[in-house]
Structure 1
Amino acid sequence: MVEVDDATFKEIENELRDIINWIKVFEEEYDLPAEVVNQLRTRLEGTAKKLGLEVIK
């Protein structure tokens, strides 16, 4: 198993938050269906939770 330091976890948390925010931008600007947006957010938030990260505040 790979050891990850706190700074790296913070970077991962920030990247996931940025991706989730970009999904919202794409939803608004490119009319992504709500179902697609919800599925993407749910999966990304689930991954973050498994890693012990809080990406939605």
Structure 2
Amino acid sequence: MSSMMVSIFRIKATNRMLVAIFGEAVVTEVQRREASNHIYPQRPVSEHRWRKWPATSFR
């Protein structure tokens, strides 16, 4: 089993645990928020700070 498969399985296992504890709605909300964070970093954006950041800071 490759390490990639192990990490995917681990993520799925933790998601299942979260579903068991908090319910489906919370997990989907968290995943949606994480996905949007990858596209748009949640930072207070002033022009001054935006110019200072390199383009590679989008992670």
Larger radius of gyration: 2
Q: Establish whether TM, by shorter chain, passes 0.5.
A: no
Place the TM-score, normalised by the shorter chain, in its bin.
Answer: 0.3 to 0.5
State the TM-score, normalizing by the size of structure 1.
Answer: 0.39
Greater RCO, 1 or 2 (C-alpha within 8 Å, sep 6+): 1
